[in-house]
Amino acid sequence: MSRVSNFGHDIADRETYSPPGTGGVAAHQEKAAKPPFKAQTGWSFATDHPVRAYQRMPSAISFDGTATPPVPRGEYAIQTLQTQTLQADRLNFMRLAIFAVLFFVSAAFAQNQNLDNVQIHTLHVQGNVYMLVGGGGNVTVQVGDEGVLLVDTSFAQLSDRILAEIRKLSDKPIRYIINTHLHADHTGGNQAMLQAGASLQGGGNFIGRGARIIAHSNTFERMSGLLGSDKPVPTAATPTDPFATESKDLFFDGEAVQVFHVPAAHTDGDSIVFFRRSDVVSTGDVFVTTSYPIVDLQRGGSINGVIAALNRILEITVPAEKQEGGTMVIPGHGRLCDEHDVFEYRNMVTIIRDRIQDMVQKDMTLEQVKAARPTLDYDPRYGSTTGFWTTEMFVEAVYRSLKQGAKQ
């Protein structure tokens, strides 16, 4: 398949699109992709046109996985939906209530997890950059003669273990913390890391008490409780250096570090961080390998913003030979990646967005869209029926995001 840098509706080789999860970094990861879905009729998503595949779905797929013959090309798989009242016991007001409080449980999610036995593991990515994994969101660590810079701080309960791993890499103070967004699995350790650090001030001539925390102003306002919709975190855990521009940069540990705001993506305050000499991008939750994108509508997220953020990552990254290696990518959750992994993930998200967008334009209801199962061919890799973020939640978030966009 030919390489494209900006995904659109004019890709010439979509008919040869490969199943998701086929790219990766052989030296650092185990392939997690599963075989493409194939209905019992012999019809397969993998050999069909990816964007319009749902138009040739089996006309009905039962709970036991059996399928009736496919409907003619161009007709929706929900042709018999009116006779299938699958949503009879699903009350809309209950779903709306659950969706509205979904991201309110970020702190509760940490409590529900048993973090007592979580181990933190360290992986050298390349250059000055390391990746800490275990429990919460991934933590990016840059080390050098000037000190330590962190991207995100995971859960508060893991701070001691994370600090212990950092001390194995460097005995220098933590100078900077960059928060990619506000959720507690990425910012919970802010206070402990700040207090363990010491900032450089006055052009490096003075040492300040505590590390400096950089974040977009939207993240700062939400963490401070200024918008009224979020409970404020302790003052010592809030960003000290918010920025309201498209980007912020600094030169630290012998390399340029660029922080790019990607608006209305996972939230309205997301940032991605690029370590230029080390050639590593830390993405926060605009890119994860463990699930479909998490779109926090209550905090300004949108599906089109997620796709724009993935495209921004692809603009920065450059692959090495055979599309492997090159610029390395640390996701918010999941394994270490390279440019091709982001490329495949972006294509998957765009394809699903296009399917649901077409259904929205045809005035299909949320229940009809869910019954059509627009994510079916990707569910073996990214789907989930249980846990914090399920496939149904993702489909609903995409649907509502697109409906909101149509009203604007």
Determine which of 9-13, 120-124, 156-160, 197-201 has the lowest per-residue pLDDT on average: 9-13
Higher pLDDT, 47 or 331: 331
* pLDDT tens track for 337-364: 999 999 999 999 999 999 999 999 999 9
Quote the pLDDT of residue 130. Answer: 98
Tokens of 102: 């979904």
Residue 185 has pLDDT above 90, yes or no: yes
Residue 13 has pLDDT above 60, yes or no: no
Higher pLDDT, 63 or 189: 189
The stretch 258-280 carries a mean pLDDT of 98
The stretch 29-38 carries a mean pLDDT of 40
Q: For the purposes of burial, counting CB atoms within 10 Å of the CB of 131, is it exposed (0-12), middle (13-18) or buried (19 or more)?
A: buried
Q: Concatenated DSSP letters for 162-202? A: HHHHHHHH--SPEEEEE-SS--HHHHTTHHHHHHTBEEEET
The confidence band for 404, taking pLDDT boundaries of 50, 70 and 90, is confident
Quote the pLDDT of residue 9. Answer: 35
The owner of tokens 């599309």 is 323
Query: DSSP alpha helices (H): ranges in 210-323?
Result: 217-223, 303-316
The stretch 150-172 carries a mean pLDDT of 97
pTM score of the predicted model: 0.74
Task: Write down all domains in the chain, each with its CATH number in brackets.
Answer: 105-347 (3.60.15.10)
Quote the pLDDT of residue 328. Answer: 98
Determine which of 58-62, 82-86, 168-172, 318-322 has the lowest per-residue pLDDT on average: 58-62
